Amino acid sequence: MKREKLKVKIIPLGGLNEIGKNITAIEYKEDIVVIDCGLKFPEEDMFGIDIVIPDVSYLLKNKDKVRGIFLTHGHEDHIGALPYILKQLNVPVYGTKLTLGIVETKLKEHGLLSTTELIRVKPRDVIKLQSVSVEFIKTNHSIADSVAIAIHTPMGAVLHTGDFKVDYTPIDGEVMDFARFAELGRKGVLCMMADSTNVERAGYTMSERTVGASFLNIFGKAKGRIIVATFASNIHRIQQIVLAAESLGRKIAVSGRSMENIVQVAIELGYLTVEKDSMVGIDNINKYPNDQIVVITTGSQGEPMSALARMAASEHRKLSIVEGDTIIISATPIPGNEKTVSKVINQLFKKGAEVIYESLAAVHVSGHACQEELKLMHSLVKPKYFIPVHGEYRHLKQHSELAIKLGLPEQNTVIVDNGDIIELSRDAIRKNGTVQSGQIFVDGLGVGDVGNIVLRDRKHLSQDGILTVVVTIEKETGTLVAGPDIISRGFVYVRESEDLMVEAREIVKSVLLDCEEKNITDWATMKSSMRDQLRMYLYEKTKRKPMILPIIMEI
């Protein structure tokens, strides 16, 4: 019993075998440290779902032990579930200045700001808990102020890299804290968890600064307005757009709600430097000649409601794309978004704009470490045990192979899944059981009220629609007194299907007659006969399988 307690437990509750909803619990004695609390955007087959958040039942069951949520950086897949989880689990939230700045905006929208304890930290800060301490270590990523987190336990240190890349020339001049990673490595790290996103890519990720050079080049040639779409959270990218604009004397306007929010936060907190009078409101851009304007906007993923998509579709109220505009899409489509991005590009080209995107110029770099950078991290930290995180299985698998190639004994790395309990002692790593984990769907105001049955129905409805059959029968005799009425939606053009519906009604009538004859009065049997007969008939006639919904009314 006593030995059991002395183990460090690592329990990932999200982020493994998926992209998104990153959250990991690290437990030692009476302390649980939670790293990140992210959301996931819905998969294609999650019809109607707005966002997906992690199932944190395990944390709720162990409420008293949870010392706080410790954030590595301010991306949605690391902070987006906070408003939902904090409602159930009111614990302090630790993060760097910009990260908390973004969290604040989010909590304000959910009315949670006054009830949440936000604790601002900076790199090299150490938070002492009961049996462990938590240290923040500077990294580089596609958002400013990102950190790795080390949890120091009596068994040794557990290091979580967070999302990172190696950038020797970052925009803010703050290179990741190689010295501290090396020092931890020298002292001995028990276990490292590291970002696997780009493990399939050879070589190095380019420095963010290279994008700035491309901007200067493209901006210098542009004859009209310049519109740049990028991720709102990429403050360094935005800084480079601002610098390029200012160097050419162009005014800068911002469009898109999330872009406006984050730019404001970043300026207030000192993460974005803009010359006095450089900024103009989006309402005022027409007061300047076209060649004196740069617009920074959202929509780099082609999101249908984003500012850029609205411009492309002529639905933006403040800005119409005209011939001579130069539009830069400074991002790469996230897998699954290729088609929406392509649609926006086509629309913009059709309006006569010049459109510049990744396949045409170096207007984007990744925020994640490629193979050579991962090797550097492994070589600095030299962990005894290694758990690849932040990726699908293919990434985790290849990251563990990379570690083995660097000399890690094969038995010292494990590929784990959400909900797995990984136990660490000084000389062993093993999976030992699981806790409840999974995905909770958020749909409108509902959190968790849509599950697999509802999704299965939505999918069914989306494929072949629905056919509702209503009959009113006399209670005593079972005789049909009204109907059958058949109404379909999403099945077939009504005018094309009259014969089909006439025949379907006849089928229902004969089912009812048959039931009457056989003295079948229970509704379940009647309904399932209707359903079966109709299904067979419709499939034979159309090779489609609409949902069939029989309703019996009784008077």
- The set of catalytic residues is 195, 368
Binder to a copy of itself among 462, 477, 510, 528 (CB under 8 A)?
Answer: 462
Cα 430 to Cα 1, 35, 81, 415: the distances in Å are 17, 21, 29, 10
Beta strands in 373-477 (DSSP E): 385-389, 420-425, 428-434, 439-443, 446-447, 466-473
Instruction: Give the contact letters, 507-546, x = binds to a copy of itself (CB under 8 A), - = no.
Output: ----------------------------------xxxx--
Nearer to a copy of itself, 209 or 458 (CB): 458
Nearer to a copy of itself, 89 or 361 (CB): 361
Using CB atoms within 10 Å of the CB of residue 472, give its burial: 0 to 12 exposed, 13 to 18 middle, 19+ buried: middle
Question: Measured between alpha carbons, how far is 427 from 433 in angstroms, rounded to an integer?
Answer: 19
Question: Measured between alpha carbons, how far is 13 from 429 in angstroms, rounded to an integer?
Answer: 18
77 is in an annotated binding site: yes
Binder to a copy of itself among 113, 376, 466, 501 (CB under 8 A)?
Answer: 466
Nearer to a copy of itself, 19 or 248 (CB): 19
- Which residues, numbered 356-395, are part of the site for a copy of itself (CB under 8 A)? 359-360, 392-394
Choices 81-89, 98-106, 148-156, 477-485 (CB under 8 A): range interacting with a copy of itself: 477-485
Counting contacts by CB under 8 A, is residue 454 touching a copy of itself? yes
Nearer to a copy of itself, 145 or 303 (CB): 303
Minimum distance from residue 5 beta carbon to a copy of itself (Å): 33
Minimum distance from residue 536 beta carbon to a copy of itself (Å): 14
75 is in an annotated binding site: yes
Counting contacts by CB under 8 A, is residue 346 touching a copy of itself? yes
Choices 172-180, 186-194, 236-244, 338-346 (CB under 8 A): range interacting with a copy of itself: 338-346
CA 498 to chain centre: 46
Minimum distance from residue 35 beta carbon to a copy of itself (Å): 24
460 is in an annotated binding site: no
Coil, helix or strand at residue 493: coil
Counting contacts by CB under 8 A, is residue 472 touching a copy of itself? yes
Token pair of 479 as six digits? 């005789």
CB 54 within 8 A of CB 440: yes
Q: Quickly tell me which residue has 């790469």 as its tokens.
A: 332
283 is in an annotated binding site: no
Counting contacts by CB under 8 A, is residue 288 touching a copy of itself? no
Token pair of 94 as six digits? 């630790």
CA angle 411, 55, 85 (to 5 degrees): 120
Minimum distance from residue 78 beta carbon to a copy of itself (Å): 21
Backbone φ/ψ region at 223: left (φ over 0), alpha (ψ -120 to 50), beta: alpha
CA 517 to chain centre: 58
Torsion of CA 106, 108, 109, 115, to 10 degrees: 100
Choices 28-36, 235-243, 341-349, 517-525 (CB under 8 A): range interacting with a copy of itself: 341-349
Torsion of CA 360, 366, 371, 374, to 10 degrees: 160
Question: Measured between alpha carbons, how far is 418 from 437 in angstroms, rounded to an integer?
Answer: 6
Beta-strand pair 385-389/8-14: unpaired
Counting contacts by CB under 8 A, is residue 342 touching a copy of itself? yes
419 is in an annotated binding site: no
Coil, helix or strand at residue 464: helix
Counting contacts by CB under 8 A, is residue 117 touching a copy of itself? no
HSE of 539, CA atoms in CB hemisphere, 13 A: 9
236 is in an annotated binding site: no
Minimum distance from residue 289 beta carbon to a copy of itself (Å): 26
Counting contacts by CB under 8 A, is residue 443 touching a copy of itself? yes
Q: Which residues are annotated binding-site positions for Zn(2+)?
A: 73, 75, 77-78, 141, 163, 390
Binding residues for Ca(2+): 48, 50, 443
- Annotated binding-site residues for substrate read 232-234, 364-368
The footprint of a copy of itself (CB under 8 A) covers 17, 43-44, 47-48, 200-201, 335-336, 338-339, 342, 345-347, 349-350, 355, 359-360, 392-394, 397, 443-446, 449-451, 453-455, 457-466, 468, 470, 472, 481-483, 485, 487, 489-493, 496-497, 541-544, 547, 549, 551, 553-555
